[in-house]
Amino acid sequence: MLPENEMVEIKGKVIAQIESSFPAEQIASARKQIEEMNNEEFERFLEKNKILAENKEAECVFCAIASGKINSCQIQENKGAIAVLEINPISKGHCLIIAKKHEEKPQKEVTSLAKKISSLLKRKLKPKNIEISQSRLFGHEVMNILPVYNNENFQSERNHTTTEDLNKLKEELTKKRERKARKKKEEIKEKLWLPKRIP
């Protein structure tokens, strides 16, 4: 039997997959079925659907997210990790940093991207603090980045969010950076002066 924290994490990923790939009229029913399963029923469901093989050697859910087989709301990446918005966030901007490789040893790209995302969240969302929790789920390195606005912590209640809300937040976190880069380019063009004709 998988640990409780892994069950919660996987359930969230399965629900996100349902919401992004099922026909609209089937989403509520499928979501309800997943939510109502106890841990034993859910583990059987995972094995039956080859999401989790009985020998536990199937591709883990985080490998599937990192490779793009499971849809996610990715906000940044580097050579060895991706940053995605948590689908059952504790607070606005709650992110996961997922290693692209399924390795036992810690990967510096994960820590590097976690620092970058923490700075981005501080700058854009202005939380009081940022909490970081490193874990290994299914043997896969994952970091939780949690913006703290009031007294949130990793044991706080999780909230479900829609794909639409996640995409809006992604735009909020990434779009302004693009505008700033474009503005800087325009400033450079203005400063760069060349005569119209060179005799």
Q: Are residues 150 and 115 in the same domain?
A: yes
**For position 184, what pLDDT does the model report?**
65
pLDDT in tens, 58-81: 567 888 888 888 888 999 999 999
Looking at beta carbons, which pairs linking 46-53 to residues 24 or more positions away fall under 8 Å? 46/10, 46/14, 51/10, 51/14, 52/2, 52/10
> In this predicted structure, what is the pLDDT of residue 134?
87
Residue type, 8: V
Please report the pLDDT score of residue 54 as a whole number. 43
45 with 93, same domain: the answer is no
Domain encompassing residue 35: 1-58
Kindly indicate the confidence band of residue 120, based on its pLDDT and cuts at 50, 70 and 90: very high
SS3 143: strand
101 is a domain residue: yes
pTM: 0.63
Same domain, 50 and 81: no
Residue 55 clears pLDDT 80, i.e. is over it: no
Under the banding of pLDDT at 50, 70 and 90, the label for residue 132 is: very high
For 78-167, list the strands marked E by DSSP.
81-85, 95-99, 129-137, 140-148
Both 114 and 173 in a single domain? yes
Residues 77 and 34 in one domain: no
> What contacts 180, CB < 8 A, 6 or more positions away?
none
| pLDDT at residue 84 tops 50 | yes
Identify whether residues 77 and 169 lie together within a single domain: yes
Is residue 79 located within the same domain as residue 41? no
